[in-house]
Amino acid sequence: MSLLRELGYTDVSHYAGGLSEWLATADPESVLSEPRTGSPIPVSTPQKSAPTRLAWIDSLADRSVEGLFKLWLEIVIGCGLAYWLLAEASPTFALKTNAGAIAQGIGGLLPALYFSAVTATSIGYGDIVPSSLSRVLAVCEGIAGLILFGCVVSKFVSRRQEELISQIHRIAFEDRLGRVRTNLLLVSHRAAGDIAVVRRQRDSPAGGRGARRERRDGVRR
């Protein structure tokens, strides 16, 4: 019924018993102009699944593309600061180049952010390499970057897939709805003809064979 409302139908009725219930409760002469309200379709509330150890993957899937990009930036900046702080804590943990360890102090912050961005995108130029404890952080950052990249790709693919599925369902539903409306129109006209024949037969004192023949003609129409 929600799809019917999306298609522009505001007055929608549901008959759980099908066509027989519609014929029993609706007036065939006025059902097309004044449709009645039927019992609503029961909507079941989806139950939330129990939290699992991989619930954080579902939380990533629920994020938008903008949210995933912001999370990627936060990881890059956070890991860059972590590389810089490790280098400040001990030269053993400092990032190194071919010329030696990067400079300590505020001058080493920009190379640390650069290395963090390169690691998060899994490019790995090799001009700056981690050492000691920084290698563990670099591996974790690379894994996180790959996971976020996969989430972004799946977002684009699933969005396009949902659009195509929605279009297919809409076309199929509109075609089926058109056939149902045509069948209901024929049934309503036949029922209205039967009612008219019965009324004329009831009002006419000389019904007899002519009235019965008229009734059969009405059914054929």
Average pLDDT (125-136) is 88
- Kindly report whether the global pTM for this prediction surpasses the value 0.75: no
**pLDDT tops 90 at residue 41:** no
Q: Domain residues of the chain, as ranges?
A: 6-39, 64-156
Distance CA 193, CA 67 (A): 62
Distance CA 21, CA 180 (A): 15
- Greater confidence (75 vs 94) lies with 75
- Greater confidence (50 vs 9) lies with 9
**What pLDDT does residue 5 have?**
64
Q: What angle do CA 96, 101, 104 make, to 5 degrees?
A: 120
**What pLDDT does residue 1 have?**
57
Distance CA 142, CA 12 (A): 53
β-pair partners for 97: 100
Q: Which two tokens stand for residue 51?
A: 């939290």
> 27-36, 74-83, 113-122, 136-145: which has the minimum mean pLDDT?
27-36
Mean pLDDT for the chain? 76
- Domain 64-156 fold is Helix Hairpins (1.10.287)
Tens digit of pLDDT for each residue in 136-177?
999 999 999 998 888 888 888 887 788 888 888 888 888 888
Q: Cβ contacts of residue 221 below 8 Å, gap of 6+?
A: 189, 190, 193
Helices 133-203 and 109-120, packing angle to 10 deg: 50
Tens digit of pLDDT for each residue in 64-74?
888 889 999 99
